[in-house]
Amino acid sequence: MVRAIVRDRRQITLPADICKQLGLVVGDTVDLAVEDGSLLVTPSKQRTLDALAELRRLFAESGISEKEFQTDLRSIRRELVKEKYGIDAT
């Protein structure tokens, strides 16, 4: 366990070893959550990768390919643009 100090502006510095373990580099963003009284720090890119993996799993279960989904989504988007703005978005 590593200890950090909360500074005047409620800032903490993550030790280099922790950043390395999480794959964090300067400029990365992290998501913060409190779970059971503990602070959970998750790299935002990891949450994005987890969400993508979940979407792929759901597509596999549904039998709809990502390409089919994208094609349907484009069609729906065109219809909505035409309905709302009266223009053909092809």
> Which pTM does this prediction carry?
0.49
**Residue 58 pLDDT:** 87
**Residue 64 — pLDDT band, cuts 50, 70, 90?**
confident
Say which residue the tokens 């979407």 belong to: 55
Q: What is the DSSP letter of 86?
A: S
Statement: residue 11 has pLDDT above 70: yes
| Beta-bridge mates of residue 54 | none
Distance CA 84, CA 53 (A): 33
When the pLDDT of each residue in the chain is averaged and rounded to a whole number, the result is: 89
Statement: residue 62 has pLDDT above 80: yes
CA 57 to centroid of chain Cα atoms? 16
